[in-house]
């Protein structure tokens, strides 16, 4: 269940909101004049979400390459990589 707070709470109860974001690792939604305005979260939560989004993008890119037939057997790819790295 999302936590929704007024914009005045961000100013007046910053520590409480910050503690919640760090403890539960989820965003707090801030309203302004009764409408949604911001989502506030800890840096750790933001970095986790950003990393997950980046990972999903890479997975989708890989899946697209498979669909386009731009792949080769793992053994062949590893052999080429070893040659390139001279391992």
What is the span of the domain harbouring residue 78? 44-85
Same domain, 23 and 56: no
Residue 18: phi, psi to the nearest 5?
-60, -45
Residue 87 has pLDDT above 80, yes or no: no
Same domain, 59 and 77: yes
Q: What are the Cα distances from residue 45, in Å, to 24, 39, 77, 83?
A: 9, 12, 35, 40
Same domain, 32 and 50: no
Q: How confident is the model at residue 86 (pLDDT cuts 50, 70, 90)?
A: confident
Total domains in the fold of the chain: 2
Task: For residue 10, give the CATH number of its domain.
Answer: 3.40.1620.10
Tell me the mean pLDDT in the region 12-18.
Answer: 98
Tell me if the pTM is above 0.85: no
Same domain, 31 and 64: no
């Amino acid at each position: 269940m999302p936590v929704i707070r007024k914009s005045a709470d961000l100013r007046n109860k910053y520590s409480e909101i910050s503690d919640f974001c760090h403890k539960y690792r989820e965003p707090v939604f801030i309203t302004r004049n009764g409408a949604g305005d911001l989502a506030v979260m800890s840096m750790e939560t933001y970095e986790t979400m950003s990393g997950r989004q980046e990972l999903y993008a890479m997975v989708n890119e890989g899946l697209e390459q498979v669909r386009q037939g731009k792949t080769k057997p793992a053994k062949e790819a590893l052999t080429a990589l070893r040659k390139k790295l001279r391992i």
